[in-house]
Chains A and B, each alone.
Chain A
Amino acid sequence: MASRGAGVGLEMEKMSLEQLRALKEQADLEFNLFQDSLNNIRTATARLEIASTALHDLSLRPQGKKMLVPLTASLYVPGSLDDADKVLVDVGTGYFIEKTMVEGKEYCERKINLLKSNYDQLLEVATKKKSIADETGAILQAKLKQVAPIQ
Chain B
Amino acid sequence: MGSTAVLKELQGDLENKANDLTKLQKDIAKNHQVRKKYTIQLGENELVLKELDLLNDDANVYKLIGPVLVKQDLAEANANVRKRIDYISAELKRLDATLQDLEEKQNSKKEAIYKVQQRIQSLQAGKGKA
| A97 engages B63 (CB within 8 Å) | no
| A91 engages B51 (CB within 8 Å) | yes
Contact with A along B47-87 (1 / 0, CB 8 A): 11001100100011111110001001000010001001000
- Chain B residues near A129 (CB-CB < 8 A): none
Partner of B47, one of A88, A92, A98: A92
| B45 engages A93 (CB within 8 Å) | yes
Given A96-B69, A97-B52, A97-B55, verify A91-B60 contact (CB < 8 Å): no
Question: What are the 10 A-B residue pairs with the smallest beta carbon separation, nearest first?
Answer: A98-B60, A94-B64, A96-B62, A91-B51, A92-B44, A92-B48, A91-B48, A93-B48, A95-B48, A93-B44
Q: For the complex, is A130 an interface residue (Cβ under 8 Å from B)?
A: no
Closest B residue to A97 using CB positions: B61
B76-119 residues with Cβ-Cβ distance < 8 A to A are: 77, 81, 84
Q: For the complex, is A105 an interface residue (Cβ under 8 Å from B)?
A: no
Sorting the interface of chain A by its residue count into under 10, 10 to 19, 20 to 34 or 35 or more gives 10 to 19
- Chain A residues near B65 (CB-CB < 8 A): 94
Contact with B along A75-102 (1 / 0, CB 8 A): 0000000000000110111111111000
Partner of B63, one of A95, A98, A99: A95
- Chain B residues near A93 (CB-CB < 8 A): 41, 44-45, 48, 81, 84
| B63 engages A96 (CB within 8 Å) | yes
| B77 engages A95 (CB within 8 Å) | yes
User: How distant is the Cα of A95 from the Cα of B64 in the complex, in angstroms?
Assistant: 6
- Chain B residues near A91 (CB-CB < 8 A): 47-48, 51-52
Nearest-neighbour CB distance to chain B for A126, whole angstroms, equals 19
- Chain A residues near B55 (CB-CB < 8 A): 97
